[in-house]
Structure 1
Amino acid sequence: MQPDRSGVATPLVSRPGATPPGPGATPLQHLRALARSGFGDGASAVAGLLAQLDDVLDLEAAGAVLSGARRREQLAATGLFTAQPIALLGSCTLDTLPPLLTATMLQAGIQPEIRLAGFNQWRFEVLSGAPTFKDLAPRVVACLLDDSAVFAEITDPLDIEEVEARCAAFPAELRQWTQAAQDVLGGLTVLCTLPLSPLRRDRLIDYRSKARLEAAWQRMNAAILDLATELSGTVVLSDAALAARAGTVFGSDRMRHAAAHSYTPEFLHAYAQELTRVARADLGRAAKCLVLDLDNTLWGGVVGDDGIGGLRLGGSYPGSAYQELQTLARDLEKQGVMLAVASKNNEEIAREAIATHPDMVLQPHSFLAVRANWQPKPDNVRELAAELNIGADAMVFVDDNPVERGLMRELLPQVTTVELPADPAGYASCLAGRGDFNLLKLTGEDRERTKLYRERSQRAELQSTAGSLEEYLAALDSRLTIEPADALNTARIAQLFGKTNQFNLTGVRYTEEDIAQRIADGTGTFFAARLTDRFGDNGLIAAIALSEARDGAWSIDNFVLSCRVFSRNVEDAIVGLILRSAEEHSAAAVLARYTRTAKNAKFAGFYPAQGFVLDAAEDDGTSTGFRHDLTSISDLPDGIRVVNDEGVFHVR
Structure 2
Amino acid sequence: MFNLNYPFDDEMIMQKKKSIRKELLDKDSPFIDKKIAILSGSTIGDVKSVLELFLLDQGIRPVFYEGSYNRFYEEAVFGNAGLEEFQPEIIYIHTSNKNIDVFPCVGDGEAVLAQKLESVYRRYETVWTELKKRYGCPVIQNNFEPLAYRLLGNADAYHKYGKNNFISHLNQKMYEYANANAGFYINDISYLASWYGLEKWSNPSHWYLYKQAMDLNAIPLLCRNISRIVKSLYGKNKKALALDLDNTLWGGVIGDDGVENIRLGEESPEGRAFTAFQRYLKEISTLGITLNACSKNEESLAVEGFSHEGSVLKRDDFISWKVSWTDKNISIAAMAKEINIGLDSIVFVDDNPVEREIVRTRLPEVSVPEIGSPEEYIKALDQEGYFEITTLSEDDMNRNQSYKAIIQREILENSIEDYGEFLVSLQMKCYMSPFTEPVIPRITQLINKTNQFNLTTKRLTENEVRNAAEDESVITLAARLCDKFENAGIVTAMIAPVKDGEAVIELWVMSCRVFKRNLEFAIFDELIRECKRKGVKKIKASYLPTKKNLLVKGLYEELGFEKTEESETGTVWSYSIPEEYRNKNSVMEVFYDEQERDNG
Question: What is the TM-score of this pair, normalised by structure 2?
Answer: 0.91
The question of whether the paired residues in 1 share the 8 Å contact of 2:401 and 2:486 is answered with no
CA distance in 1, matches of 2:368, 2:74: 43
Aligned CA distance change for structure 1 residues 175 and 544 (closer, same or farther; 3 Å)? same
**Matching of residue 626 in structure 1 with residue 573 in structure 2:** yes
Name the CA shift for 1:490/1:440 in 2 (closer, same or farther; >3 Å). Answer: same
Structure 1, 437-446 or 505-514: larger mean CA deviation:
505-514
Which residue identity is paired with 2:543?
A: Y
2:337 corresponds to which of 386, 389, 398:
386
Q: Select which of 223, 234, 241 maps to 1:272.
A: 223
Residue matched to 1:34:
none
Tell me what 1:195 maps to: 145
Mean Cα deviation higher: 121-130 or 564-573 = 121-130
Write the deviation string for residues 200-255 of structure 1: whole angstroms up to 9, x where unpaired. Answer: x4499997978532222211111112221121101112222212332345453332
Q: What is the DSSP-based 3-state SS (H/G/I as helix, E as strand, rest coil) of the residue aligned with 2:302?
A: helix
- Give the aligned partner of residue 636 of structure 1: 584
Q: 1:259 aligns with which of 186, 189, 210?
A: 210
Greater CA deviation, 175-184 or 460-469? 175-184
Partner of 1:357: 308
Alignment of 1:82-231 (within 5 A): 82-151=32-101, 165-198=115-148, 201-202=150-151, 212-231=162-181
Alpha carbons of 1:270 and 1:159: their partners in 2 closer, same or farther (altered >3 Å)? farther
Measure, in 2, the Cα distance between the counterparts of 1:159 and 1:139.
45
Aligned counterpart, 1:56: 10
1:362-382: CA deviation from partner (whole Å, max 9, x where unpaired): 111100012222222222211
CA contact (8 A) 1:502 1:600 kept: yes
Alpha carbons of structure 1 residues 636 and 219: separation in structure 2 relative to 1, 3 Å: same
Counterpart residue identity of residue 540, structure 2: L
Tell me, in whole angstroms, the C-alpha distance in 1 between the residues paired with 2:535 and 2:180: 41
Question: Deviation at 1:505?
Answer: 1.1
Say if 2:265 and 2:309, in contact at 8 Å, map to a contact too: no
Q: Corresponding residue for 2:249? A: 298
Q: What is the CA distance between 1:76 and its match in structure 2?
A: 8.4
Q: 1:254-278: per-residue Cα shift (whole Å, max 9, x none)?
A: 3222221121134322221111111
- The 1:78/1:360 distance shift into structure 2, 3 A limit, reads closer
Q: Which residue of 1 aligns with 2:189?
A: 239
220-229 or 636-645, which moves further after superposition?
636-645
- Cα separation, partners in 2 of 1:144 and 1:449, compared to 1, 3 Å: same
State the alpha-carbon separation in 2 of the partners of residues 244 and 94 from structure 1. Answer: 21
Give 1:647 deviation, angstroms: 11
Deviation at 1:159, TM superposition (A): 6.8
Summarize the Cα distance change of 1:230–1:538 in structure 2 as closer, same or farther, 3 Å threshold: closer
Is the CA contact 1:168–1:219 (under 8 Å) kept in the aligned structure 2? no
Go from structure 1 to structure 2 and tell me whether the alpha carbon gap of 1:365 and 1:184 turns closer, same or farther (over 3 Å shift): same
Q: Which residue of 2 aligns with 1:517?
A: 467
User: Is 2:340 the counterpart of 1:340?
Assistant: no
2:504 corresponds to 1:552: no
CA distance in 2, matches of 1:157, 1:80: 54
- Displacement after TM superposition at 1:327 (Å): 0.4
Matched, 1:611 2:560: yes
Looking at structure 2, the residues matched to 261 and 379 of structure 1 have their Cα atoms a distance apart, in angstroms, of 48
Instruction: Say if 1:158 and 1:204, in contact at 8 Å, map to a contact too.
Output: no
1:464 to 397, 411, 414: 414
Residue among 277, 280, 301 paired with 1:325: 277
Give the whole-Å Cα distance in 2 for the aligned partners of 1:279 and 1:641.
Answer: 38
Structure 1 residues 352 and 119 mapped into 2: Cα distance closer, same or farther (>3 Å)? same
What is the aligned-residue identity percentage? 26
Q: How does 1:396-475 map to 2 (within 5 A)?
A: 396-422=347-373, 424-475=374-425
Report the CA distance between 1:497 and its aligned residue: 0.5
How far apart are the structure 1 equivalents of 2:329 and 2:43?
Answer: 45
Q: Does 2:229 align with 1:282?
A: no
Q: Residues 61 and 99 of structure 1 are in contact (CA less than 8 Å); yes or no, is this contact kept in structure 2?
A: no
1:61-115 CA distance string (max 9 Å, x none)? 4433455xxx69x938944333222211121112211221122222223222233
2:455 aligns to what?
Answer: 505
| Cα RMSD, aligned residues only | 2.8
Residue of structure 2 equivalent to 1:586: 535
Q: Which secondary structure state, in structure 2, belongs to the residue aligned with residue 439 of structure 1?
A: coil
Asked if structure 2 preserves the Cα contact closer than 8 Å seen for 1:462 and 1:472, the reply is yes
Q: 2:429: which partner in 1?
A: 479
| CA deviation string 1:160-216 (max 9, x = no partner) | 5667633332222212211211222332111121124336x4499997978532222
Judging changes above 3 Å, is the alpha-carbon distance between structure 1 residues 327 and 629 closer, same or farther for their aligned structure 2 residues?
same
Q: 1: distance between equivalents of 2:141 and 2:132?
A: 12
Whether the aligned pair in 2 keeps the contact of 1:573 and 1:636 (CA below 8 Å) is yes
Larger RCO: 1 or 2 (CA < 8 Å, sep 6+)? 2
Alpha carbons of structure 1 residues 625 and 647: separation in structure 2 relative to 1, 3 Å:
farther
Q: Secondary structure at the match of 1:312?
A: coil
Unaligned runs of 5+ in 1: 1-26, 29-48
SS in 2 for 1:359: coil
Structure 1 counterpart SS, 2:438: coil
Q: Is the 1:335–1:446 Cα contact (8 Å) retained in structure 2?
A: yes
Say which is worse superposed, 606-615 or 325-334, in terms of deviation.
606-615
Q: Which moved more, 1:433-442 or 1:208-217?
A: 208-217
For 1:274 and 1:524, locate their aligned partners in 2 and report how far apart those are by CA, in whole Å: 36
Whichever residue aligns with residue 594 of structure 1, its letter is: Y
Query: Which residue type is aligned with residue 419 of structure 2?
Result: L
Change (3 A) 1:625 1:121: same
Contact 1:125 1:132 (8 Å CA) reproduced = no
Paired position in structure 2 for 1:574: 523
Deviates more, 1:327-336 or 1:233-242: 233-242
Give, in whole Å, the separation in 2 of the partners of 1:296 and 1:206: 45
Aligned length in residues: 590
Gaps of 5+ in 2: none
The CA deviation at 1:558 is 0.9
CA distance in 2, matches of 1:435, 1:420: 14
- SS of the residue corresponding to residue 489 of structure 1 reads helix
SS at match of 1:488: helix
Q: Note closer, same or farther for the CA distance 1:486–1:645 as it changes in structure 2 (3 Å cut).
A: closer
Secondary structure in structure 1 of the residue aligned to 2:437:
coil
Partner of 1:31: none
SS at match of 2:506: strand
Cα distance in 1 for partners of 2:42, 2:412 equals: 61
